[in-house]
A and B are shown apart, each in its own frame.
Chain A
Amino acid sequence: MDEPLESTTLRLADFMTSPQGWGREQGRVVYNKLLSFVESRPGTILFRVSIKGVTRVDISFASETIVELARRYRGIKGFAFIDLEDPDMLENWEAAAARKNQPIMVWNGSSGRVIGVEPSQGTVEAFLFALTRPRTRATEFVKAMPNIAIANASTKFKQLWEQGFLLRRENVAESGGVEYVYLRIGGPEV
């Protein structure tokens, strides 16, 4: 049976001194506070980043805070936005993520989209499949897409994990071997 995914919600506004975040220097100060918060929770692998209470961020601030954190922990821990509805702020987070080539999920209820980087044409189908459920195994994808070989499916998920679109856990399969379980970053736990 799959272990529950340890997650927490991080309110970005709690780490800022004002509702407006701008500039690299201020971003680095906030980054250090965020890093301490993340490091103090070694078992937590998913951080839902709530933007509630933040009225504006510029691209430099965005780049130095959550985007940098997501890049640092790529493949190890995941960061997903919630309560991010302001189009201008979304545009700035997106620009910062694109510049660092870092995909980040934005969730609005059960609907999620990735900003910063799009998955490649070869992996987009596997990514969309993984988004529909909290955990995915390559075997489940192959069952749904019988024309794809298991080795090919495994490669696609591995790429998505390495590029920061998904998280990954090692499980012991029923056969006794190692089985990788891929976890979407954010979204509702079912």
Chain B
Amino acid sequence: MLCTVALPSAWVNASRLEDALRLSGDPHGAAIYDVHILFPVGCKVMVDAAIRLLSLINQLSFCTLGVRLNFEEGEAGTMGYLNRVGFFDHLAPAVEVLPARPAVSGADIYRGTNLELVEIARINKDYRDETLLSRLTDALMCACGTRNDAGELKGAAWTIFAELIDNVFSHSATPLDGYAALQVYTRGGKLKVAVSDSGLGIMQTLRPALRTEFPKLTALSDTDLVVEIFRQGLSRHGPDRGCGLKYSAAKAIKFRANLDVRLPNNRVLLTPAAGSYQANTAYGYDQLPLMWGTHICFDFRLNG
């Protein structure tokens, strides 16, 4: 059976991507053999959506589904942007691209020339990119250097990126790569840094350990549990682990960054309130179409 994901003729951030996935049914569904993703004229995929989409497409291809991406505007449209950020460099070879895969990689040609972009980087613990953290931090500082708290932000951002990427290594357990990318949106006054992996979701690894490690939390909903992961720091390995995400969140809160966490079947949006991420200001979405792994995006404001 064919599943068609039709993206809208508009800016496509992670929320709009979710809308399109929901309307499509479930690309990972048992009866699905082919998935077509349509990028109409006027569709502009943002970086958080781009790397989630990349992970999802590679997951589907890994499951031997036939995947076709149809870019109606060709390279003049969002395909050109995706080529510039390195989307096609990481796309599974079996995926069909219409009108055709770009002949040359824009990311390869222009990598590092735009200070407002860190092209999609592969995260694989066997091929650790030692320069990635510095590149992400430098790009963030280039965009946010005029903030009053720029000095503090630099160290905090480095730690946040380090913990997020290390978290991908820890939870990967998959042959599929994870990805990280950053894009500044000057007009929107924000910067998005997104990290995505196709491994076991945080919830899949944590839920089974709750009964022994954190019995009081077994009754929490997935949304509330995600909040606690970032608030208290929870880990399947017990109370002296799990500090990475907690302190990353604590640092991000200082700079009033919003946090978007997509898990295999749910998504939680966290907005800082009273100096922390709270359950009562978290927006949770359940029963979403399956997307393996954990996908995290921090939104920083450019002007503090």
Contact = CB atoms under 8 A, between A and B. Distances in A.
Interface of A: 18, 20, 22-25, 56, 58-61, 63, 86-89, 92, 95-96, 99-101
Given A20-B133, A22-B133, A92-B247, A99 B159 contact: no
Contact of B155 (A18, A25, A56, A60): A56
A96 B156 CA distance: 15
B125 interface: yes
Interface of B: 125, 130, 133-134, 152, 155-156, 158-159, 162-163, 165-166, 169-170, 233, 240-244, 247
Given A22-B166, A23-B166, A58 B130 contact: no
B240 A58 contact: no
A90 to B, nearest CB: 10
A101 B240 CA distance: 8
B243 A88 contact: no
Contact of A88 (B155, B163, B240, B244): B155
Contact of B166 (A60, A86, A100): A60
A58 B169 contact: no
A96 B159 CA distance: 12
Contacts of B166: 22-25, 58, 60
Nearest to A68: B240
Given A22-B162, A99-B233, A59 B243 contact: yes
B260 to A, nearest CB: 21
Contacts of B170: 24
B159 A58 contact: yes
Secondary structure dominating the interface of B? helix
Contact of B244 (A20, A56, A59): A59
Contacts of A99: 233, 240-243
A96 B133 CA distance: 20
* Interface pairs A-B: 5 shortest CB-CB: A88-B155, A58-B162, A22-B162, A23-B166, A99-B243
Contacts of A20: 130, 133-134
A101 B155 CA distance: 24
A60 B242 CA distance: 9
Contacts of B242: 99
Given A58-B158, A59-B159, A60-B166, 18 more contacts: A20-B130, A20-B133, A22-B133, A22-B166, A24-B170, A56-B158, A56-B162, A58-B244, A59-B163, A59-B243, A59-B244, A60-B244, A63-B240, A63-B243, A88-B152, A92-B247, A99-B240, A99-B241
B247 A95 contact: yes
23 contacts: A18-B130, A20-B133, A22-B133, A23-B162, A23-B169, A24-B169, A25-B169, A58-B158, A58-B162, A58-B166, A59-B247, A60-B162, A60-B244, A61-B162, A63-B241, A88-B152, A88-B159, A89-B155, A99-B240, A99-B241, A99-B243, A100-B240, A101-B240
B159 A92 contact: yes
Nearest to A102: B240
A56 B163 CA distance: 13
Nearest to B159: A58
B155 A86 contact: yes
B162 A95 contact: no
A71 B159 CA distance: 23
A95 B243 contact: yes
Interface centre among A86, A87, A99 (most CB of B within 10 A): A99
